[in-house]
Structure 1
Amino acid sequence: MPVYSMTGYASVQQSIPPDGDNNAPSLWRVGLEIRSVNSRFLDLSFKLPEDLRSCEPQLRSLVDNSLKRGKVEVRVLINSEHASSVPVASPRLLQQLGSFQDTVKAWMPAAQPFSVAEVLRLSGSGSIELPENWAENVAALCQQALKTLLDARQREGKRLADMLQDRIKQLRQLADQAEPLIPELVKQQKQRFLERWQEAMALSAGSVSPEAAQDRALTEATSFAIRIDVAEEVTRLRSHLEEISRLLTKGGDIGKRLDFLIQELHREANTLGSKSAALDLTRISVDMKVLIEQMREQVQNIE
């Protein structure tokens, strides 16, 4: 399965003939837009004309069946296809305006009648005459827009997956650099403890036996070596990288699992830095955390 980003945009338009008559000149052009950004869950919002509120449940169901996560906004716009930009005033609306004007003048004889501009303005914000098959047209537009959106999210998802695989490769190279340093660092620390205890023995003028001093030095060196040994952290880090790579290859709804694994990667890199007793390991830890932070920012956009 492909990897999907939660970021995408789709816009489709269609001319709607009156009463579904395909041979009649179109009266309306319907535009449907879907915008999507990242979110922890599927968060839907609809911006529809009042006459289309009845279509919202159907549109919501279509989006629910196609998307898993993301903050999604669905907007429907209606424009007249007449050559003029003058709003179309339905006879019903004109009758309502005339009746309203008569009522006002009955109580306020000095009130001015509606001007043509005012009638046109009220017609533009009022109800419109929609064809009977309106809901079917809007649903078909939504399906078309969702397909376009999914294609865009898939292309963006592939780009994110390729970037993450590249960061995984770099992290593995850093782990390869860290592993040889661990036994050498432990060996150096043991030798350093022995030298210090030998100096202490020389100062003690034989008050402690050489065997006891050496045993104590080795014990202290071993204890310290355990505290600075980061082999387990490197092993777990490699394991997390393998799982992330597997999920990216598998695809599908993987965003939340990737987010958890990125947190685990960051924890191992932090531990490696805190236990580091050499500048080289500290540098590797810092480089790892930079790469992991870059991964975390991109994983936030994966569905």
Structure 2
Amino acid sequence: MISSMTGYGSASRQVSLGAGVVADLQVECRAVNSRFLDLGFRLPDECRGAEPVLREIAAQQLSRGKVEFRAAWRVNTTAGAAKVGTQNQAHSILGALNPERLDALHSLQEKTQIVFPKAEALRIADILRWPGIVSEPRGEEAGWIAATVEAGRAALEALMDSRHAEGQALAAVLTDITNKMRVIVKTIEPRVPEYVAQYQAKLTERLAEALASQEQSKGGTELMERIRQEVVLYAVRIDVAEEFARLKTHFQAVEKALTGNGPVGKRLDFLMQELNREANTLSSKSVSEECTQAALELKLLIEQMREQVQNLE
């Protein structure tokens, strides 16, 4: 199934912190375009141990794209616990005061006020924010890792689903553009012999005029050189059958890639280069204004496809 390189997925799990306290953990997985697979992780300290496992899981399912895992957690206040303010603020219900830290802080404040008698005493909020004053249940490391891996795996699956859905939409767009190019080739190819015949008539007329004028001069060297140049130019211009054949072959290759499985981005990018090459050659060998216009339309459609192909894995 064709996949886009952009997508998003998220999942949440709960982690027991002990003492009846539960944390809600949410993991997000985001992906954008990249030539290669680039994995990034923004995880809190509690979840760091899950990074190697998540990296391995992602590498098994993804081949291209810049993918980032983000995790965040908060205490579930509906599970019998209440968290007041941010993590740096007072936790009057969840936390347990550390008597030793409190005594040390109290002693430090008394000594400071002896030196600075006008200094204000610490407020309750200041005391509760002091490192080590409030201790909270943090849960076991194994529980954090297991929950992070499980949520990360589910977020990655949601990401893959969104990438597949976008990939199918892009495939439909690319198929439509390919069909438009087929119509152009189908329309212009049968007319090429007529354009060549018209060009041949014009060439014959010019050669006849050159011959008539040369007969009035003394030598034939200039005439022969003129004829040689015109014939070479004519031979180069009329040979476009090979370009049409290769264009149709490339159309089939694009269709096969879009209906196949697995990563196709690099393959399609190569085909866009080949299609553009044939369109350029067709334009340079054009024997009529209609052929030139058809080549320009092909190049425009190829460029539209190239932009979309950059989004495919």
* Match status 1:49 vs 2:44: yes
Partner of 1:276: 286
Residue 80 of structure 1: which of 71, 75, 97 is its match? Answer: 75
Residue 247 of structure 2: which of 220, 225, 237 is its match? Answer: 237
* Match status 1:101 vs 2:105: yes
> Can you list the C-alpha shifts for 1:235-278, whole angstroms capped at 9, x where unaligned?
22222221111111112111111111111212222222233232
Partner of 2:184: 174
* Match status 1:227 vs 2:231: no
Partner of 1:156: 166
Distance 1:194 1:141, change over 3 A: same
Partner of 2:125: 117
Percent identity among equivalent residues? 37
Partner of 2:257: 247
Query: Aligned equivalents of 2:95 and 2:100: distance in 1?
Result: 10
Query: Aligned equivalents of 1:122 and 1:262: distance in 2?
Result: 62
* Match status 1:259 vs 2:269: yes
TM-score, normalised to structure 2, is 0.81
Query: Aligned equivalents of 1:191 and 1:127: distance in 2?
Result: 96
The secondary structure found in structure 2 opposite 1:29 is strand
* Match status 1:12 vs 2:7: no
Displacement of 1:128 = 5.9
Query: Aligned equivalents of 2:193 and 2:176: distance in 1?
Result: 28
Displacement of 1:150 = 0.9
Which shifted more, 39-48 or 236-245? 236-245
Partner of 1:285: 295
The aligned length equals 292
Displacement of 1:47 = 0.9
TM-score, normalised to structure 1, is 0.84
Q: Structure 1: which amino acid aligns with 2:71?
A: V
Q: CA RMSD in A?
A: 3.0
The secondary structure found in structure 2 opposite 1:250 is coil
Distance 1:253 1:205, change over 3 A: closer
Partner of 1:130: 138
Say if 1:258 and 1:299, in contact at 8 Å, map to a contact too: yes
The secondary structure found in structure 2 opposite 1:130 is coil
Say if 2:33 and 2:310, in contact at 8 Å, map to a contact too: yes
> Can you list the C-alpha shifts for 1:126-146, whole angstroms capped at 9, x where unaligned?
996333222111111111111
Q: 5+ unaligned residues in a row in structure 1: which ranges?
A: none
Say if 1:190 and 1:218, in contact at 8 Å, map to a contact too: no
Displacement of 1:26 = 5.3
Query: Aligned equivalents of 1:216 and 1:182: distance in 2?
Result: 28
> Can you list the C-alpha shifts for 1:211-253, whole angstroms capped at 9, x where unaligned?
xx8x988755542223223322222222222111111111211
Which shifted more, 100-109 or 292-301? 100-109
Query: Aligned equivalents of 1:151 and 1:289: distance in 2?
Result: 33
Residue 203 of structure 1: which of 200, 213, 228 is its match? Answer: 213
Distance 1:200 1:156, change over 3 A: same
The secondary structure found in structure 2 opposite 1:6 is coil
The secondary structure found in structure 2 opposite 1:180 is helix
Query: Aligned equivalents of 2:236 and 2:104: distance in 1?
Result: 86
Query: Aligned equivalents of 1:96 and 1:178: distance in 2?
Result: 90
Displacement of 1:39 = 0.6
Distance 1:96 1:70, change over 3 A: farther
Tell me which stretches of 4 or more aligned residues in structure 1 moved more than 6 Å: 206-209, 215-218
